[in-house]
């Protein structure tokens, strides 16, 4: 388990991280979300010891030193490889720096290239690959040594839906092997579909921390999706409805000021008759993100 | 394998496989081969055109002339008609017909162009000598008369040599050594600085620093570059030796080597002693500074500018050395022979001139080695901060921040 306690980082007058504490358990995926400049990369850089910081970071109860570097798989935010090397040379070089013998890594390369559908041979130079394929090679470099702690900074940026799915599969496989995984993303759909828990940072403060379900339920089941032939005006008259949005055709999103009003609204809307859709839910992560990002404490 | 060695091996292989390195190493050999080849071909194609044939009704005379001037005579031509044909085809400069009777030796030269001064002198000398022998024999002199006639004039040279053999060897050693260090430093300062600067602020460095300590990486890089330098030196030594052996096949080089054998071995002795340690340590300390200045550039795109500080430092040391090449006793030489970066130029100067005691050499070496160790330890500590820093601030701000970065 990765544990961060009371992390504080100051750049001049700017507080990049302020009393940040959270845990990344083994065999679980933690999403680190927040707007640009909220402190996500600074958190990653602190974990990796690139920065001096105040507070404590521990991996399996011990400080992160060179002895655990081999257990870490890190994908930085911007992609960068060594353009003059071939795919094979690049993967083998970085794997050897993770203490993996070349003779163990080399036979695996073809399978990994196939798994990520990399267009190119392992003898192709990195500079001859498209941006997307370079990104996939970098992902292979991050995961091929079977790390126990995986840190992915914006892994989905720039990937099309097909490749994003390939990455999701790889992340889930790594989780199944028992690794503790933390990744940052702006795409809440990816976070929601992959993560067991999430941490949200806003200007260096932790504003959300917990399992996806807990975080969403924190906000109450204040959203009601209905598909009905009622007019917008008529829906607005229902008790505790504060806002009505037509989504598409006869589908509406109603916002409630009291989640307990659900049964009463159901009664009035259906009058005991069939209704195509009546779904009371907490806000989506996307909405929570917007809400939290906008609120000043 | 130790991670430092993995980095060193990667740096080394990438450098030596590059076209720029291959060109750098091979270009002197190619140039020498081309100039030797051109020299050989022009010499062999024009050699017959400058030779003459000698024809004589007296084989002994012809034989004697050939013996005295073997490089200038085409011996295969023995008749006037054959010589005429060759001259007409421009395959022979001309032909000399030597004849002799009881009292007179005469020579007639036939050619399209007049004789060169040197050849004319040689022919005159031969004819004069032969005529004199004929005259002496005709004069029927007594042994005493013959002896007094052969008495040579007395001629002696009294030259006050300014440059004795030993000091010539010192001068040659000094210049060879100084230029060797300077050329290696100028070449590899840029290679090292660019190698490091090209990684500045790149995300691959974040991946690498999440795999190994920055200090190990830094030392690996330096070792890799030093291995490249060593490779070039070994290639030059082996190639140089091969060329030397080849050149020794040529008579003139062999003559030169025999004549100047003591000078050459004195120069070699001056190079292959403690001076070699100063050269190697000098290359190491400048390589470290080049790597440091490479790490100080604002971004990878500025890599070409990165080598400047190390190159300027090396140039300053080089140009300060020159005025003292004949004055190894100067106080400044003594002081600078202990100062790292300068000692690699100045201590060898003192060693060549037998001006430094074993203790002084030892102290200078210890200072140099300690400085190298200190620099490696210090730069290793701040290296991560320098390389991961991407702010486009001024050089001095980056240096200040880099120096302040310690974990």
Between chains, do A141 and B208 touch, taking CB under 8 Å as contact? no
Length, in residues, of chain B: 407
In a domain? residue A291? no
Query: Residue B206's closest CA among A73, A99, A7?
Result: A73
B3 chain-A contacts, CB cut-off 8 A: 97, 99
Between chains, do B407 and A81 touch, taking CB under 8 Å as contact? no
Residues A187, A251 within the same domain: no
Residues A140, A79 within the same domain: yes
A74: nearest CB among B7, B207, B407 = B207
* Torsion of Cα atoms, A202 then A207 then A210 then A212, to 10°: -60
Q: Testing the interface with A: which of B206, B215, B217, B384 to mutate, by most A Cβ within 10 A? A: B206
A100 chain-B contacts, CB cut-off 8 A: none
Give the mean model confidence (pLDDT) for residues A37-58.
91
In a domain? residue A297? no
Selected residues 41-60 of chain A with any CB under 8 Å from a CB in chain B: 45, 48-50, 52
Residues A173, A237 within the same domain: no
3-class SS at B243?
helix
Between chains, do A80 and B203 touch, taking CB under 8 Å as contact? yes
Residues A138-194 pLDDT 10s: 999 999 999 999 999 999 888 888 888 999 999 999 999 999 999 998 888 888 889
A98 chain-B contacts, CB cut-off 8 A: 211
On whether any CB of chain B is under 8 Å from the CB of A85, the answer is yes
A76: nearest CB among B1, B6, B203 = B203
Give the pLDDT confidence score for residue B166 in this predicted structure.
66
Residues A116, A226 within the same domain: no
The pLDDT mean for chain A works out to 90
Give the mean model confidence (pLDDT) for residues A30-36.
91
In order along chain B (407 residues), what is the average pLDDT of each group of 10 residues?
Answer: 88 89 85 76 65 87 85 85 86 87 87 82 87 84 79 72 64 82 83 83 85 90 90 85 76 70 76 82 89 82 79 88 81 90 88 85 94 91 80 69 62
Give the pLDDT confidence score for residue A171 in this predicted structure.
93
Range of the domain at A269: 220-281
Between chains, do A52 and B407 touch, taking CB under 8 Å as contact? yes
Look at chain A and report how many structural domains it folds into.
2
Give the pLDDT confidence score for residue A297 in this predicted structure.
43
Nearest CA in chain A to B206: A76
- Are A56 and A6 in contact by the 8 Å Cβ rule? The answer is yes
Give the pLDDT confidence score for residue B406 in this predicted structure.
53
Q: Give A208's strand partners.
A: A200
- Domains along chain B? 49-149 (3.40.190), 165-404 (no CATH)
Q: Testing the interface with B: which of A12, A44, A50 to mutate, by most B Cβ within 10 A? A: A50
Retrieve residue B114's tokens.
Answer: 């007049």
In a domain? residue A179? yes
In a domain? residue A174? yes
On whether any CB of chain B is under 8 Å from the CB of A66, the answer is yes
Between chains, do A82 and B204 touch, taking CB under 8 Å as contact? yes
Give the mean model confidence (pLDDT) for residues A276-292.
87
- Are A89 and A79 in contact by the 8 Å Cβ rule? The answer is no
In a domain? residue A169? yes
Residues A213-254 pLDDT 10s: 888 888 888 999 999 999 999 999 999 999 999 998 899 999
Interface A-B: count of C-beta contacts within 8 A: 55
Residues A21, A143 within the same domain: yes
Q: How far is A284 from chain B (nearest CA, A)?
A: 33
- Mean pLDDT is lowest, of A9-18, A268-277, B157-166, B277-286, for B157-166
Residues B136-175 pLDDT 10s: 888 887 778 878 877 777 877 665 554 556 677 777 888 8
A74: nearest CB among B3, B7, B210 = B210
Residues A101, A122 within the same domain: yes
Residues A94, A65 within the same domain: yes
Between chains, do A97 and B208 touch, taking CB under 8 Å as contact? yes
Between chains, do A74 and B206 touch, taking CB under 8 Å as contact? yes
- Are B318 and B345 in contact by the 8 Å Cβ rule? The answer is yes
CATH number where A253 lies: 3.30.70
Contacts of A22 (CB under 8 A, 6+ apart): A4, A30, A199, A206, A209
Percent of chain A with pLDDT over 70: 99
Task: For B111-141, give one letter per residue: b (16+ CB within 10 A) or e.
Answer: eeeebeeebeebbeebbeebeeebeeeeeee
Give the pLDDT confidence score for residue B19 in this predicted structure.
87
Between chains, do B203 and A79 touch, taking CB under 8 Å as contact? yes
Residues A61-94 pLDDT 10s: 999 888 899 999 999 988 888 888 899 999 999 9
Q: Tell whether the torsion through CA atoms of B178, B180, B186 and B192 is positive or negative.
A: negative
Query: Residue A10's closest CA among A57, A58, A42?
Result: A42
In a domain? residue A70? yes
Give the pLDDT confidence score for residue A236 in this predicted structure.
93
On whether any CB of chain A is under 8 Å from the CB of B404, the answer is no
On whether any CB of chain B is under 8 Å from the CB of A69, the answer is yes
B388 chain-A contacts, CB cut-off 8 A: 50
Between chains, do B211 and A98 touch, taking CB under 8 Å as contact? yes
B384 chain-A contacts, CB cut-off 8 A: 50
Q: Give B81's strand partners.
A: none
Residue whose structure tokens are 């054998």: B261
Give the pLDDT confidence score for residue A93 in this predicted structure.
94
Between chains, do B6 and A48 touch, taking CB under 8 Å as contact? no
B203 chain-A contacts, CB cut-off 8 A: 76-80
Residues B185-216 pLDDT 10s: 888 888 888 888 888 767 888 899 999 988 89
Residues A162, A28 within the same domain: yes
A49 chain-B contacts, CB cut-off 8 A: 407
On whether any CB of chain B is under 8 Å from the CB of A76, the answer is yes
B10 chain-A contacts, CB cut-off 8 A: 93
CATH number where A173 lies: 3.40.50.300
In a domain? residue A112? yes
* pTM for this model (two decimals): 0.75
In a domain? residue A288? no
A151 chain-B contacts, CB cut-off 8 A: 210
Residues A42, A27 within the same domain: yes
Cα–Cα distance measured from residue B387 to residue B297, given in angstroms and rounded to the nearest whole number:
9
Q: How far is B309 from chain A (nearest CA, A)?
A: 26
Cα–Cα distance measured from residue B265 to residue B169, given in angstroms and rounded to the nearest whole number:
9
Cα–Cα distance measured from residue B131 to residue B122, given in angstroms and rounded to the nearest whole number:
14
Selected residues 139-178 of chain A with any CB under 8 Å from a CB in chain B: 141-142, 151
Q: Give A62's strand partners.
A: A59
Contacts of B343 (CB under 8 A, 6+ apart): B278, B282, B336, B337, B364, B367, B368
Give the pLDDT confidence score for residue B1 in this predicted structure.
58
- Are A126 and A87 in contact by the 8 Å Cβ rule? The answer is yes
B7 chain-A contacts, CB cut-off 8 A: 97
B210: nearest CB among A69, A78, A79 = A69
The CA-CA-CA angle for residues B280, B283, B288, to 5°, reads: 130
Residues A49, A160 within the same domain: yes
Q: How far is B207 from chain A (nearest CA, A)?
A: 6
Residues A110, A183 within the same domain: yes
Cα–Cα distance measured from residue B134 to residue A221, given in angstroms and rounded to the nearest whole number:
136
Residues A224, A203 within the same domain: no
B209 chain-A contacts, CB cut-off 8 A: 48, 50
Domain-terminating residue out of A168, A194, A217 = A217
């Amino acid at each position: 388990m990765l544990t961060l306690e009371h992390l504080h980082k100051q750049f001049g007058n700017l507080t990049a991280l302020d009393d940040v504490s959270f845990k990344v358990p083994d065999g679980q995926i933690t999403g680190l979300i927040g707007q640009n400049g909220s402190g996500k990369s600074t958190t990653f850089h602190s974990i990796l010891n690139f920065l001096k910081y105040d507070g404590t970071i521990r991996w399996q109860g011990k400080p992160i030193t060179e002895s655990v570097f081999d257990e870490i798989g890190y994908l930085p935010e911007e992609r960068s490889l060594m353009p003059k090397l071939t795919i094979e040379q690049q993967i083998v070089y970085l794997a050897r720096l993770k203490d993996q013998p070349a003779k163990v890594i080399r036979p695996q390369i073809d399978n990994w290239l196939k798994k990520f559908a990399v267009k190119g041979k392992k003898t192709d130079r990195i500079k001859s690959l498209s941006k997307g394929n370079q990104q996939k090679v970098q992902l292979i470099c991050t995961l091929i040594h079977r790390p126990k702690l995986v840190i992915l900074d914006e892994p989905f940026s720039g990937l099309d839906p097909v490749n994003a799915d390939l990455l999701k599969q790889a992340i889930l496989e790594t989780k199944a092997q028992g690794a503790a995984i933390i990744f940052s993303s702006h795409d809440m759909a990816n976070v929601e579909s992959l993560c067991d828990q999430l941490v949200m940072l806003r200007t260096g403060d932790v504003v959300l921390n917990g399992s996806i379900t807990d975080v969403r339920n924190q906000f109450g089941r204040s959203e009601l999706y209905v598909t009905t032939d009622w007019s917008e005006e008529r829906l607005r008259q229902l008790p505790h409805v504060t806002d009505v949005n037509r989504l598409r055709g006869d589908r509406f999103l109603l916002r409630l000021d009291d989640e307990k009003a659900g049964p009463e609204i159901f009664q009035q809307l259906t009058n005991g008759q069939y209704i195509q859709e009546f779904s009371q839910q907490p806000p989506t992560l996307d909405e929570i993100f917007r809400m939290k990002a906008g609120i000043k404490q | 394998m130790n991670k430092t060695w993995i980095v060193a091996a990667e740096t080394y292989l990438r450098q030596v496989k590059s076209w720029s390195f291959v060109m750098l190493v091979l270009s002197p050999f190619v140039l020498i081969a081309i100039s030797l080849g051109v020299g050989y071909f022009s010499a062999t194609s024009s050699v017959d055109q400058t030779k003459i044939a000698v024809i004589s009704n007296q084989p002994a005379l012809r034989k004697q002339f050939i013996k005295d001037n073997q490089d200038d005579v085409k011996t295969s031509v023995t008749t006037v008609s054959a010589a005429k044909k060759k001259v007409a085809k421009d395959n022979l400069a001309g032909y000399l017909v030597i004849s002799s009777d009881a009292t007179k030796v005469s020579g007639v030269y036939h050619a399209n162009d007049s004789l060169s001064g040197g050849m004319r002198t040689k022919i005159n000398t031969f004819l004069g000598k032969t005529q004199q022998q004929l005259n002496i024999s005709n004069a029927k002199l007594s042994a005493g008369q013959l002896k007094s006639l052969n008495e040579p004039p007395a001629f002696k040279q009294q030259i006050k040599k300014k440059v004795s053999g030993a000091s010539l060897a010192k001068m040659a050693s000094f210049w060879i050594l100084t230029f060797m260090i300077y050329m290696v430093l100028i070449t590899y300062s840029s290679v090292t600085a660019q190698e490091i600067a090209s990684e500045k602020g790149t995300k691959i460095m974040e991946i690498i620093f999440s795999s190994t300590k920055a200090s190990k990486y830094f030392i690996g890089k330096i070792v890799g570059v030093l291995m490249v330098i060593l490779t070039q030196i070994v290639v030059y030594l082996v190639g140089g030796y091969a060329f030397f052996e080849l050149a020794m096949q040529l008579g003139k080089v062999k003559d030169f080597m025999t004549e100047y054998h003591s000078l050459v071995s004195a120069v070699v002795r001056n190079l292959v002693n403690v001076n070699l340690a100063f050269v190697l340590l000098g290359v190491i300390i400048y390589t470290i500074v080049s790597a440091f200045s490479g790490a100080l550039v604002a971004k990878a795109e500025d890599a070409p500018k990165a080598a400047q500080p190390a190159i300027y430092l090396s140039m300053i040391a080089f140009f300060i050395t020159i005025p003292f090449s004949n004055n190894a006793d100067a106080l400044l030489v003594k002081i600078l022979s202990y100062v790292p970066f300068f000692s690699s130029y100045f201590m060898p100067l003192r060693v060549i001139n037998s001006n430094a005691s074993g203790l002084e050499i030892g102290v200078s070496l210890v200072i140099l080695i300690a400085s190298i160790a200190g620099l490696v330890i210090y730069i290793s500590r701040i290296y991560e901060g320098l390389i991961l820093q991407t702010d486009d601030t001024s050089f001095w701000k980056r240096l200040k921040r880099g120096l302040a970065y310690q974990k």
